[in-house]
Structure 1
Amino acid sequence: MTADRDRTVPQTAPVRIPQTREDVAQLGSFTRTRVERIIGIVIAVGCMALGAQGFVAALDASAELPGWHPALEFVVFIPLVLMLAACFAGRGQRVFSGLFVVAYTVGMILWPIAAAGLPAAPSAEPWMFYLINIGTAAAVIAFPLPGQIGVTIGIPLLWGVVRFAQAGWDVSFTVSVVLDVSFALIFGAIVLTLGALFRTAAVRVDRARANAVTSYAAAASIAATEQERVDVGALMHDSVLAALLAVDHADSPRERTLAVSMAREALTRLANAERDAGMGPEAPVSCASIAESIEVSAAELGHPLQVDHVHPRELRVPGVVARALALAATQAISNAIQHADAVGLRVGVTGYEDPDRVTVRVRDHGPGFDPGAVAPDRLGISASIVARMAAVGGRATITSGGTGTEVALEWMEGVVE
């Protein structure tokens, strides 16, 4: 019973702590996701201003450049517009930012060809230069850190080569080109560093958050286990001990009948002590969750298995019923492992509608046994299976013979036996 409590505390508190590894993964990226969104918007705002400046300069230069120059503008500015739209929308920003880096790099390579034959002056910057910082900033969104470093260094250096090539390798452009490259490198390094710092801080916050949730789950499990121990001790003292005293002092048939009733009630409460100790919310759960709980329990018993489950999509049962079904099935699996060596062990969960009904069947191909010959003091069947199901208004049917044993656990909405 203590092991059951340790295993299921996170599953019985879905509002407070994650239930699955997927939930923990989502929780662990909470801050990082928001930081990425902020970085995308901030870079988009800055790039929009730089892009507008570059676009105006490109329109002014169109009259002096060859006829295919507008096509070069489309190659560069269309990916830029797509990148800005993706950053503001928060969808596909990595893909379109990477597309702009590639398109801008291609545009820079083609620029000396487009500007061939035109007079160049060190103080007159081509429109392509106004987009250089957009290229390095886009790399911060699109690529991992090694790629960001490569683009932040590579694009400014490539611009220096392109600028010299356009000027016919005139040494008088040296100072201007060095200043341009230095400015682009410094600005790109600042953006890259800030992005890396914010992302690192976000990862650390998410890791601390996930660790805190994990610690809370462990603390909740320990607290529930201790509470269960206290409650079971009180139950043993109040209910079970009182029932035993009643049996010892029963002389008349009526007293014996009352003593048997008290003993049955005590065993039922003992079998469901974990519910009294903090069963968790009664929020409805799906049949798939029942099957998952049984699989986890079987794995912890040393016999991993695949639980077949067939059920209507919308069928959900109360949480306490699902818990009772899972615990009773776990006890049946434990019996099959202990007494039948888990030969042919199979478990299935089936759900029905109109009315809502759930059946869990645990089968094995062991030697079988006579359920009527089980000693009354053996609580593995009477308390952990039969009484547990009765406590939630369900029933347990055990069929055993030479070909194996089947334990059928059934619960139906609105039926209390």
Structure 2
Amino acid sequence: MAADERSLKEAWSSIPSQGEVGIGLERFTGQRMERILSTVAAIGSAALGAQALLGAVTRLTRPDIAHVGIMVLVFAPLLWMIVACVIGKGIKPAAGTFTIAYAIALALWPVVVDRSVREPSSQPWIFFLVNIGVVAAMLAFSTRVQLAWALALPILYGWVRLVQGDFEQSWWISTGFDVSFTIILGAVIISLAWMFRQVAAGVDEARSQAVEGYASAAAASAAEEERVAMSALMHDSVLAALIAAERAGSERERTLAVAMAREALTRLANTEASIAQEGSDAPVAKTQIVAELRRTLSEQGVDAVVEERGEATAEVPGKVARAIVLAARQAIGNALAHAGGRGLHIIADSAASDRLSVTVLDAGPGFDPDAIGEDRLGIRASIIARMAAVAGKSRIDSDAEGTTVVLSWEPS
């Protein structure tokens, strides 16, 4: 029995709504492109990092604390960034940490380097990581910061190399070549990444527009089918029920006419729904109904309050709960469309444990319910007929100060 209740609650919580369509598809290509960029960055960083580490170990003339410390400062964040890029998690903080740590290591380079080794044409091991710092900036920062970093890191490297060589003339040529090369390569890296990201964003935007267009076409088609189905219902079920009620002469005939009318109203209310049944008689808690109404407001992006009053443990049959939620959704949609959501407030009240009423209020300009065209089914079918189909009541009061829609149900 407990398993059945859990299954019913899970089914109730998964009532589809328009706000859920397309979630997770907005940046499908963009996410794949970011994954590709991080994977390529991991491969390149691992290759150049291994080359730099080998150079650092083989050229380590004096393994003192300063040299070992600067190696740890550079290679520990680099390893973290490579691992983050491989697993696809924590890429931005790891890449940002390496970029900052590498810049600090560059600034400290003239202090810890052995100046007795005078080789202006031979690049130190830290040179192999200049463009890896640019790649890390590409993964961690915005485009403007990436461009600034692609220019700043090579210039910083050139400065510390000239400081290491005491600004001798022999150091200017080799250092100038290294700086210009790293600036050009860094600009190419940033440009390619920006181009790939823009292409991915364009694909995602085109996909979003295509899905929107398809959804609009499907909605228009469904609306037309609904009109046809409604006409058939009005002609067959409802008209037959009215004729039967008019010709009923005995108690038995009147009971059958009432049953026919209720069945017609049920089908009328469920025409726009995705299933052709009323719903279950299993009890649904008031808290679940309130949660569903709040979810509807959240999906619509509306900052409104769902106020709870009365019995907190109230329950109603599943088909009643479903009818109330769908009718309330229609009332909320009307308030957003015609009143702009002004003064939107929802009250879920239960005077007893087996009774429930939901009130939807707004502060819009109001309307005349009697002036609504016959082909407008938002109120007649989605609210009035839907509540009548489950033996519920609906009341709509509207004037210049706003509109109040009351949906109520109590056991007969």
* Residue equivalent to 1:162: 160
Q: C-alpha deviations, 1:272-313, integer Å up to 9, x for none? A: 42523453598999535631477599999xxx852236999x
The aligned counterpart of 2:260 is: 265
Q: Taking structure 1 as reference, are residues 84 and 247 closer, same or farther at Cα in structure 2, changes over 3 Å only?
A: closer
Map Cα deviations across residues 252-278 of structure 1 (whole Å, 9 max, x no partner). Answer: 723x86367436634652464252345
2:190 alignment partner, one of 189, 192, 214: 192
Which residue does 1:113 correspond to in 2?
111
Q: Residues of 1 paired with 2:238 and 2:103: CA distance?
A: 81
Give a deviation string over 1:181-209, Cα, whole Å, max 9, x none: 12212221222122111111111121122
Alignment match, 2:76: 78
Aligned match of 1:217: 215
Q: Quote the RMSD (CA, aligned, Å).
A: 4.6
Which of 290, 293, 308 is equivalent to 2:292? 290
Structure 1 stretch displaced more, 379-388 or 116-125: 379-388
Structure 1 residues 71 and 345, CA, compared in 2 at 3 Å: closer, same or farther? closer
Cα deviation digits, residues 197-226 of structure 1 (max 9, x gap): 111111112112222222222222211211
Pick one of 228, 232, 247 that aligns with 1:230: 228
Write the distance in 2 (CA, Å) between the matches of 1:97 and 1:343. Answer: 47
**Structure 1 residues 410 and 171, CA gap change in structure 2 (3 angstroms):** farther
Q: 1:407 to 1:192 in 2, by over 3 A?
A: closer
AA aligned to 1:287 is: I
Summarize deviations over 1:45-99 as a string: whole Å, max 9, x none. 1111101111111112222475521111111111111111111121111111111
Residue 373 of structure 1 aligns with which residue? none
**TM-score normalised to structure 1 length:** 0.70
Amino acid at match of 2:253: L
Q: TM-score with structure 2 length normalisation?
A: 0.71
Distance 1:84 1:410, change over 3 A: farther
- Which consecutive unaligned segments of at least 5 residues does structure 2 have? 1-13, 334-341, 362-376, 396-403
What residue is the counterpart of 2:307 in the other structure?
308
Partner of 1:414: none
CA change 1:237–1:208 in 2 (3 A) is same
* Aligned residue type for 1:34: R
Does residue 396 (structure 1) correspond to residue 392 (structure 2)? The answer is yes
Partner of residue 55, structure 1: 53
Residues 188 and 142 (structure 1), Cα distance of their counterparts in 2 relative to 1, 3 Å cut? same
Q: Which residue of 2 aligns with 1:279?
A: 274
Deviation of 1:240 after TM superposition, in Å, equals 2.7
1:36 maps to: 34
- Describe the shift of the 1:27–1:409 C-alpha distance in structure 2 as closer, same or farther (beyond 3 A): farther
State the identity %: 33
Contact preservation (8 Å) 1:290, 1:325:
no
> What's the counterpart of residue 347 of structure 2?
347
AA matched with 1:61: R
Gaps of at least 5 residues in structure 1 are: 1-10, 335-341, 365-378, 412-416
Task: Determine helix, strand or coil for the equivalent of 1:68.
Answer: helix
1:45 aligns with 2:43: yes
**Using the alignment, how far apart are the partners of 1:343 and 1:207 within structure 2?**
34
What is residue 19 of structure 1 aligned with on the other side?
19
Of 274-283 and 140-149, the range deviating more from structure 2: 274-283
| Whole-Å separation in 1 of the counterparts to 2:68 and 2:299 | 67
Quote how far apart the aligned CAs of 1:40 are.
0.8
Q: Secondary structure at the match of 1:308?
A: strand
May I ask how many residue pairs the two structures share in their alignment?
359
**Does the C-alpha gap of structure 1 residues 382 and 232 become closer, same or farther in structure 2, counting only changes over 3 Å?**
closer
- Cα distance in 1, alignment partners of residues 228 and 209 from structure 2: 29
Identify the range of structure 1 (239-248 vs 75-84) with the bigger mean alpha-carbon deviation: 239-248
Is contact 2:324–2:358 with CA below 8 Å preserved after alignment?
no
SS at match of 1:62: coil
Partner of 1:4: none
Contact 1:271 1:384 (C-alpha < 8 Å) held by counterparts:
no
In the alignment, the residues of structure 2 paired with residue 95 and residue 182 of structure 1 have an alpha-carbon distance, to the nearest angstrom, of 29
Distance 1:157 1:42 in 2: 25
The Cα of 1:230 is off from its aligned counterpart by: 0.5
Amino acid at match of 1:164: L
| Compared CA separation, residues 53 and 289, structure 1 to 2 (3 A) | same
Give the alignment of 1:122-161 within 5 angstroms: 122-161=120-159
CA distance in 2, matches of 1:199, 1:65: 44
1:43, distance to aligned residue in structure 2 (A): 0.5
